[in-house]
Amino acid sequence: MSGGQQRKNVPILLDAFKQVIKEVPNTTLILSSGIKRTKTDSGEFDGYDLERFVTELGLTDYVLLPRDRNKGPIDDKTLNIQYNLADINILPSWGEGFGLPFIEAGISGVPSIGVDCSAVREIVRDRGILVKPRAYAYNLDGSKYQICHPDDLKDAIIKLLKDEKLKKKYGKAAEVFAKRLTPASRAKLMLNRFKKLIKEDAQPAARR
């Protein structure tokens, strides 16, 4: 499952999935949201025309692109149903500030596959599979994003699809982790951190 924003890197997933169905032919990929491209503040489109990619790659019979009645993204209730129907969650983005889809999948006991970079590394860890990036590129603002290879993503997908024991292990670990992330538990961690900083009279790096 993944969205259509450019940084989500869905075409890489589609390239990988085209190889997956050669080995596991009864597999279906659900692109759960972001089917329609959205406009940025500058009026430019952000994201891929996923329907075009699916058609050009010959994946029409294997990829579902669910939408609401207005052909927009599905609502949260429908998304939750899809998570509960899924075997694995895949988000091959080149960078995440947090990675909410990994937590959403974890709540449903679904393990994830992500790229070993940014916050994804901390969220997935031993609760799924991290695919090592093979290359990187720079954005115009100087930030760097990591890119995985379709072959590596394909191997990770097939591994989880075929190894039922490993899939259940990662799924259970993801569920336990996700259910720990309550507002109360996060507030307590923040409060403890503030208390520690005050006690140690911590100073910003520039003033040390």
Task: Give the start-to-end residue ranges of the domains of the chain.
Answer: 6-207
Fold type of domain 6-207: Rossmann fold (3.40.50)
Residue type, 8: K
Distance CA 94, CA 144 (A): 9
Calculate ∠ Cα 131-28-33, nearest 5°.
75
Mean pLDDT value across the chain: 87
Mean pLDDT in residue range 148-163 = 97
Quick check: 141 pLDDT over 80?
Answer: yes
Task: Dump pLDDT digits (tens) for 2-30.
Answer: 555 778 899 999 999 999 999 999 999 99
pTM for the model:
0.83
E strands in the chain: 29-30, 38-39, 45-46, 63-64, 89-91, 112-115, 128-131, 135-138, 144-147
Quick check: 44 pLDDT over 60?
Answer: no
Q: HSE on the CB side for 43, CA within 13 Å?
A: 0
pLDDT at 116: 96
pLDDT at 1: 54
Quick check: 67 pLDDT over 90?
Answer: no
If residue 7 lies in a helix (H) or strand (E), which one and from where to where? none
Confidence of residue 56 (pLDDT cuts 50, 70, 90): very high
Mean pLDDT in residue range 126-137 = 95
pLDDT at 39: 52
Q: Which two tokens stand for residue 30?
A: 């659900």
